Chain A
Amino acid sequence: MKQFQYLRPATQQNVLEAITKPGTKIIAGGTNLVDLMKRGVTAPDKLVDINHLPLKSITATKTGLHIGALALNSVVSENNLVLAKQPLLAMALKAGASPQLRNMATVGGNMMQRTRCSYFYDTTMPCNKRAPGTGCGAMEGYNRMHAIFGASAQCIAVQPSDMCVGLAALDAMIIVTGKKGERRIPMTEFHRLPGDHPELDNHLGKDELIIGVDIPDNNFSKNSYYLKVRDRQSYAFALVSVAAALDISGGVIKQARLAMGGVAHKPWRLFEAEKSLIGKPVSDDSFKQAAQIAMQGAKAYQYNAFKLRLAPATITEALKHAAGMV
């Protein structure tokens, strides 16, 4: 690993000043960043440790739930407020990584984790995300894990977070702060599609810090489910995952939220499929129709065509679980 300067600025203000210097990266849990630094995928000159900042609290607000950016994934996934108000988030978190990694990984860091595309990690391979302009190794390579939605000619990598899929379904707002003050970004708009700039994962400014996430209260807590399909039962990244949340009254769907993971460069919210469910009875047919709508525009590559069948099946199954049919 390349040597770097380690900084631990006392206050949030000091952190914001420190991160404006070129070659600087923030470290929280380090579960992805240290890995990337060991492989030479990223090589910051300065590391700004923010773990001591007071951003760990999980609190109920008037309109929802606030979770600090430094709350640990393990803590959030077992927090009573989270389990009562947003069980979908707890389920998504528990589906990610391993218990010991969740003991290190933070909420803010989870959002900032990079793709697990093997061409991004292998510094001997071309990758427009790691080294812009070198090409995409995955496009004609072994692209089994890759995107079926929103990819570009430059990059077909997927965002690997489970937590973000849950947060996207739950209309979460990310709170960031910078020199120009605080702003809020919907989880669904935090990550970018690769387009012509796959090196940029998200819309966080270089001088900005994630300080927390707000999840509005909802009526989904009784009928939500996170279903993750992977190569082994636990501790693997998603081939396809689905966060499903339903508000059901008298067997009829009043509101629905759906988001998919493992299929795009961002948590893939299924707005049209959600709309199709409103007013429909809770039934296999309603769910299958929604899944079909969700798949419009999907495009597979040589080795991931199975996702075109796996994704709708996973949507249907997740909805059945959410509705209590399974």
Chain B
Amino acid sequence: MEDKNAGLVHGVPCGGPEIEQEPKDNSRRTFLKQSALITTVALTPGIAAKAADMHLDEKIAGAFEKLSLKIEVNGKAMSLMVEPRSTLLDILREQLDLTGTKKGCDYGQCGACTVHVDGHRVNSCLTLGVMVNGKKVTTIEGLAKGEVLHPMQEAFLKYDGFQCGYCTPGQIMSAVACIREGHANSEMEIREYMSGNICRCGAYPNIVNAIQDVKEGGQAV
């Protein structure tokens, strides 16, 4: 997605015919992809999607659909081909097998998908992958240093900052950002600046305690 290509459709040759890029909603490939997502236990999504991709016309469609994406994820350079409609969340989970980042609502309402892009927390479910080209992404998997947990991870354990744990990766990514941004100076401020992360179990008091402990401990986050 270098700027020299600007003005062109990325991945589509200039001056080529107008290609219908939209796969029909009822196409076999889309169906298989969708059902693969639902039955992840029984089926490996990649295999199902690839099997569907053997269809020649769909292969051609796929070639036009995908764009190159170069990102750094948790310190590792990644070079991928993605559909423009793929969200960063789906790319992390489905293509890179980084399933620590959770899909809660998928509409930007719960914060379970929170990751850092170039150091700033964002909702990965509302971020199109193609829009983070060239950027650095940090997920929950990238916080620990080997076997040594990040201070915020330790604090969530110490203060029992979760029950079911589904929102926890997003909570921790948000909590780290909250301190880095300088928004963890009081319980009120922490609650306000953590409001983008919903916890249906209601572990909020313990989450606030964990954040206050890390903040007051003065450890590098």
A and B from one complex: yes
Q: Nearest Cβ distance between residue B161 and chain A, in whole angstroms?
A: 18
With an 8 A cutoff between CB atoms, is B37 at the interface? no
Instruction: Decide yes or no: A104 and B122 within 8 Å by CB, A5-B84, A99-B177 being known contacts.
Output: yes
Bound CA span A235–B111, Å: 11
With an 8 A cutoff between CB atoms, is A51 at the interface? yes
Bound CA span A49–B131, Å: 8
With an 8 A cutoff between CB atoms, is A281 at the interface? no
Q: Nearest Cβ distance between residue A100 and chain B, in whole angstroms?
A: 4
Contact with B along A33-64 (1 / 0, CB 8 A): 01101110000011101011000000000000
- Chain B residues with CB below 8 A from A101, complex form: 108, 123, 126, 196
Q: Is the CB of A99 within 8 A of B121?
A: yes
- Chain B residues with CB below 8 A from A34, complex form: 87, 108, 126-128
Q: Is the CB of A99 within 8 A of B127?
A: no
Contact with A along B92-127 (1 / 0, CB 8 A): 000000000000001110010010000011110011
Contact of A4 among B85, B87, B126 (CB under 8 A): B85
Q: Nearest Cβ distance between residue B158 and chain A, in whole angstroms?
A: 24
Stretch at the interface among A7-15, A260-268, A305-313: A7-15
- Chain A residue nearest in CB terms to B173: A100
- Chain A residues with CB below 8 A from B83, complex form: 3
Q: Nearest Cβ distance between residue A129 and chain B, in whole angstroms?
A: 19
Give residues 90-116 of A contacting B (CB, 8 Å): 97-101, 103-104
With an 8 A cutoff between CB atoms, is B195 at the interface? yes
- Chain B residue nearest in CB terms to A37: B85
Instruction: Decide yes or no: A35 and B131 within 8 Å by CB, A1-B85, A104-B123 being known contacts.
Output: no
- Chain B residues with CB below 8 A from A234, complex form: 191-192, 195
Contact of A99 among B23, B25, B128, B181 (CB under 8 A): B181
Contact of A35 among B1, B85, B107, B122 (CB under 8 A): B107
With an 8 A cutoff between CB atoms, is B6 at the interface? yes
Q: Is the CB of B10 within 8 A of A8?
A: yes
Q: Nearest Cβ distance between residue A263 and chain B, in whole angstroms?
A: 23
Q: Is the CB of A6 within 8 A of B126?
A: no
Q: Is the CB of B195 within 8 A of A103?
A: no
Q: Is the CB of B131 within 8 A of A4?
A: no
Q: Is the CB of B87 within 8 A of A8?
A: no
Instruction: Decide yes or no: A103 and B121 within 8 Å by CB, A30-B126, A30-B128, A38-B107 being known contacts.
Output: yes
Q: Nearest Cβ distance between residue B134 and chain A, in whole angstroms?
A: 10
Q: Is the CB of B174 within 8 A of A100?
A: yes
Interface positions of B (Cβ within 8 A of A)? 1, 3, 6-10, 12, 21-23, 25, 65, 67, 83-85, 87, 106-108, 111, 114, 120-123, 126-128, 130-131, 174, 177-178, 181, 183, 191-193, 195-197
Can you list the 3 inter-chain pairs with the closest CB atoms, starting with the nearest?
A98-B196, A10-B6, A234-B195
A-B contact list, 19 entries, CB within 8 Å: A3-B22, A4-B22, A7-B8, A8-B1, A8-B3, A27-B131, A30-B126, A30-B128, A30-B131, A34-B87, A34-B127, A37-B85, A98-B197, A99-B178, A99-B181, A100-B114, A101-B196, A103-B121, A234-B192
